[in-house]
Amino acid sequence: MDDAVYMRQAISQAGNAWALGEVPVGAVVVKDGEVIATGFNQPIGTHDPTAHAEIMALRAAAEILGNYRLPGCALYVTLEPCAMCSGAMMHARLARVVYGAPDPKTGACGSVVDLFAQDRLNHHTTVQGGVLAAECGTLLKDFFAERRRRAMRSGTVPSEPGAA
């Protein structure tokens, strides 16, 4: 299993989010060495606060497999998952979560909290962070730098993601 190969596919999905003015986060779900579903951030365009890349990929994978449980699946995502996404991953019974860049503001795999380390929860998913972290982090930094440049040129200050 080559984590970098799948993470590059997640990075490609993040590009879809960027193209729509969404924060560029992408995800892929892999089962038995095959990508079965993809997702990218869409909360702004869909007016859905739950439309994070991970949730979109989990929904697609569940639909494809015909089951809300995804045992034996791994999810690759470019940014450390938040608490909402981490909870969904545990409910889906993912075997493994692999993320790229850490999220020091909302990361729920150890940066702020570590939901996956809670022994009292009934499902335990293996977590691997830092896969292509520099590339994933650069993608986000470049996105926000571009937004700031556009805002400066237009004389506006973006108040939330996608505002500029």
Q: Which of 22, 34, 54, 80 is catalytic?
A: 54
Q: Beta strand 26-31 with 73-79: parallel, antiparallel or unpaired?
A: antiparallel
22 is an active site residue: no
Residue 144 and residue 141: Cα distance in Å, rounded?
Answer: 5
Residue of 84, 111, 87 lying closest to 99 (CA atoms): 111
Amino acid at 124: H
Element (H, E) at 140: helix 133-154
* Contact by Cβ (8 Å): 71, 92: no
Q: Which positions are catalytic?
A: 54
